[in-house]
Structure 1
């Protein structure tokens, strides 16, 4: 069970890191280079995949992994836009 939780957390961290590595992310100033964030995200994704594969079968593990990635990639941009508020001309 710990492998599933750690695998899910690694997948969530990977999704955020890969989002930050994207050229059109709206987060703002990054703490380090996007290339470094991309590689860290890829390593975290690989670790999360291995942990989930050790806990569940291949189809289930990939399904869980992709669901976590798609959820994070859908929620994070909307949350950032909501947090920033409307542009000055739209208020």
Structure 2
């Protein structure tokens, strides 16, 4: 249970950090990016703490980096696909 909680917190933190990036394509530009950034950092730290309580330090850091990389890889691709799909439907 603690592993899934940590993984979900890390994924949510990575998504929040993606939304804080200036070149993200999910939400309209000019939003509250600074708060997304701080929330993302906080969620990543909380997720890492949960993973550290479940596994050893090397394993927890590896899992956190893996889930963050997974989010930062799939979310832009999904956003581009949805954007392209919406453009061809019109």
TM-score by length of 1: 0.88
Deviation string 1:46-71 (CA, Å, 9 cap, x unpaired) is 10000000000000000000000001
* Structure 1 runs (4+) greater than 2 angstroms displaced: none
For residues 84 and 69 of structure 1, the distance between their equivalents in structure 2, rounded to whole angstroms, comes to 23
Aligned length: 86
TM-score by length of 2: 0.89
The residue aligned with 1:35 is: 34
1:57-76 aligned within 5 A:
57-76=56-75
1:9-88 aligned within 5 A:
9-29=8-28, 32-85=31-84
Deviation at 1:29, TM superposition (A): 1.9
For residues 28 and 41 of structure 1, the distance between their equivalents in structure 2, rounded to whole angstroms, comes to 16
Q: Secondary structure at the match of 1:23?
A: coil
Deviation at 1:28, TM superposition (A): 2.6
Consecutive unaligned residues of structure 2, counting only runs of 5 or more, are: none
Whether the aligned pair in 1 keeps the contact of 2:19 and 2:27 (CA below 8 Å) is no
Deviation at 1:3, TM superposition (A): 1.1
Deviation string 1:15-53 (CA, Å, 9 cap, x unpaired) is 1000000011011326x5100000000000010000000
Cα RMSD for the two superposed structures: 1.7
